[in-house]
Structure 1
């Protein structure tokens, strides 16, 4: 029970961090919510066009947060692991596409380069996955048939 509570708490904190991360700077001071999800999969790659809030990178993180919430309610390790993979997958995909768009990625203290929003997204995905590892999940159902009862 303690492991489920601890894993659930870790997953929920990770989900909150994942949803919060697009509202912080991702690259060169540009917020994560400014990147369109379509840019990650299209042939044009990352552009300077602004995204609507629900058309931005926030959308997959909201889906992952809902998956995490369902995983907590159902005590499902698999569902929570899926949510962590979604967060990490979209973060990695964005990093690759951004690197292709600018030629190389930099990290800097002056607001240029990779920002703390992306670091928050990576940490959130890792925390959700760690929560899935910590959780015990639901108890296994016994597959053995019950012994027959004899009338007294």
Structure 2
């Protein structure tokens, strides 16, 4: 985000310098808007050109490309605008050098003027802006979405298994106190919890018979109580028994 802002500022500054350069002196006090575009191909003359058919036209198109590139955060468009400005400036310098027999830099205003410096500086700023800009962020890797904002936070997508694949989150979990997960004998062999039989009679492998535990002496005491009393040894249903 910060890189895009800094790159946009550099690009806009370079486009502004490039557009203003034709209104400055380029060589011997002659402004850039006085050089016609066809003179770059046919030869430099002393005729004054139409401003919209001069060096102002390619520089205005470069400024338009810069605006579109900044809005779309497109590094190629901004870089293309910088190449257009630098290309036409260097091409003009070559043609003027052929016409004049060489280029000179003179502080008295008889050589290269500040308009050429503005054009060269604007093209360099456009290229720097394209290098600094981070451009439009694409998806970094599959399964994540990148959100534009401070810090460029990545948000994971919700998990979705492929079609026909069971969801691992719904897989049965093994019971640490009972039968293994997914045992078909679990529902039939293991009954409800019996407080009088804490060890249970469930056998996960089915190889041992059901075992029960009895308290020693429980049945013996019950039989002893039956043999004591006045009716000891009598048949409760035999002759001489009292009706109930």
**Is the structural similarity TM-score above 0.5?**
yes
Aligned partner of 1:13 in structure 2 is: 13
What does residue 80 of structure 1 align with?
A: 78
Structural RMSD (CA): 1.7
Residue 143 of structure 1: how far off its partner (Å): 6.5
Q: Which SS does the other structure have where 1:46 is aligned?
A: coil
Give the equivalent residue in structure 1 for 2:4: 4
Q: Distance in 1 between matches of 2:51 and 2:28?
A: 19
**Pairs within 5 Å for 1:37-116:** 37-42=37-42, 45-116=43-114
Tell me the residue number matched to 2:160.
149
Deviation at 1:22, TM superposition (A): 0.2
Q: Does 1:35 align with 2:35?
A: yes
Unpaired segments of 5 or more residues in structure 2?
144-156, 162-166, 171-244
Structure having the higher Rg: 2
Distance in 1, matches of 2:141 and 2:68, equals: 26
Equivalent of 2:132 in 131, 134, 146: 134
Larger relative contact order, structure 1 or 2 (CA cutoff 8 Å, min sep 6): 1
Q: Secondary structure at the match of 2:91?
A: helix
Distance apart, 1:68 and its partner CA:
0.4
State the SS of the aligned residue for 1:117: helix
Calculate the TM-score normalised by the size of structure 1.
0.93
Which SS does the other structure have where 1:125 is aligned?
Answer: helix
Q: Give the Cα separation in 2 of the matches to 1:22 and 1:104.
A: 21
Please report how far the alpha carbon of residue 149 of structure 1 lies from its aligned counterpart in structure 2 after TM superposition.
1.8
Q: Which runs of 5+ in 1 are unaligned?
A: none
- CA distance, structure 1, for counterparts of residue 98 and residue 135 of structure 2: 40
Deviations 1:111-141 (A, max 9, x none): 1010000011000000000000110000023
- The equivalent residue for 2:192 is none
